[in-house]
């Protein structure tokens, strides 16, 4: 069996709709353990807050967070994750180390781009 393009696009749209509806938070942490599919939490979460934007743009959903000069100071940001309102982890990734302090603002964007393929 081959899943045709119409069905692939329909499946991808359903996934994007669900992500846009469910994703609410971004978390950051200071652990650098390699993420795996079975993760249910960041290695060492230092902050989690409501994303200031969750936007669908064509073939992706972008989740955005802004940390101002008063937030998460004294922590190194090494990992990020996205969560739903219940705290379920949807993504976990490592990032270049950001030393967060009172003179540093940080913008974080996590972008989901689902694909559907025949195997």
Structure confidence at residue 99 as a pLDDT band (50, 70, 90) = very high
pLDDT of res. 119: 81
pLDDT in tens, 43-74: 999 999 999 999 999 999 999 999 999 999 99
Break the chain into its structural domains and give their ranges.
Answer: 24-112
The model's pTM: 0.89
β-strand pairing of 45-50 with 53-57: unpaired
Q: Which of 118, 95, 117, 115 is nearest to 107 (CA)?
A: 95
């Amino acid at each position: 069996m081959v899943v045709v393009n119409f069905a692939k696009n329909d499946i991808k749209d359903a996934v994007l709709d669900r992500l846009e509806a469910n994703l609410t938070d971004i978390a950051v942490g200071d652990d650098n353990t390699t993420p795996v599919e079975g993760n249910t939490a960041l290695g060492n979460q230092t902050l989690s807050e409501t994303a200031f934007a969750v936007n669908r743009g064509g073939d992706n959903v972008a989740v955005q967070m802004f940390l101002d000069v008063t937030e998460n100071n004294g922590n190194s940001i090494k990992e990020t994750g996205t969560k739903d309102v219940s705290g379920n982890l949807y993504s976990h990734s490592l990032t270049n180390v950001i030393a967060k302090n009172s003179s540093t603002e940080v913008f974080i964007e996590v972008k989901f781009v689902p694909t559907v393929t025949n195997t």
